[in-house]
Amino acid sequence: MALPRFQAFSVIQKELDVKRAELASKESYFAHIKDVQGRINAQALVAKIDAAIPNDAQLPAFHEFMQSIAAESGLSLRSITTSQTLPAQGTRLLRIGASLQLGGSYEGLKVFLSNLLRASRMTDIDSISFSSSQLGTGFVFNVRTVSYSY
């Protein structure tokens, strides 16, 4: 009477050991997946930072960036002047100052500023001034910005 119950108990004990091993394997797998997900998220964050503060000043790319933001906003980029400031001692951050002369409407300027603030590249706005166009339609906006690179 005791032997059949013991044999049944032994079978159940072996099945329990197999299930525990499967559970440990699955826990290990999910812990690995969570670790990989954390590394992917960290890489995505680094990619966002690299887009906001590129590793190279690349002035032609910067000019194209400003031109596209202006065009998307309905403004014309009349001129752009850039200057680079060497990084302060102890930092690697290079400052790129830009003076933009834009033509268009006040609504276009609002859209431009909004687009610039939402853009992937980190850009601060130093000053804005404007005057009426000589043609009498629209305005001429002078915008000074600072962007950064490594």
Q: Which pLDDT score, from 0 to 100, does residue 150 have? A: 72
Sheet-wide strand order for 123-132: 76-85, 94-104, 139-149, 123-132
Task: Cite the DSSP H helix spans in 53-85.
Answer: 59-72
d(CA 147, CA 108): 21
Taking the chain (150 residues) in runs of 10, the rounded mean pLDDT of each run is 79 90 91 83 69 68 88 92 76 83 92 88 88 78 86
Cβ contacts of 51 within 8 Å, gap of 6 or more: 120, 121
* Spatial contact of 75 and 104, defined as CB atoms under 8 Å apart: yes
Query: Alpha-carbon dihedral of residues 36, 37, 39, 45, nearest 10 degrees?
Result: 160
Sequence spans of domains, the chain: 1-52, 59-149
Q: How many residues does the chain have?
A: 150
Q: Which pLDDT score, from 0 to 100, does residue 107 have? A: 93
Q: ∠ CA(59), CA(64), CA(70), 5° rounding?
A: 125
| CATH superfamily name and code, 59-149 | Ribosomal protein S6/Translation elongation factor EF1B (3.30.70.60)
Q: Which pLDDT score, from 0 to 100, does residue 99 have? A: 93
Q: Which pLDDT score, from 0 to 100, does residue 33 have? A: 86
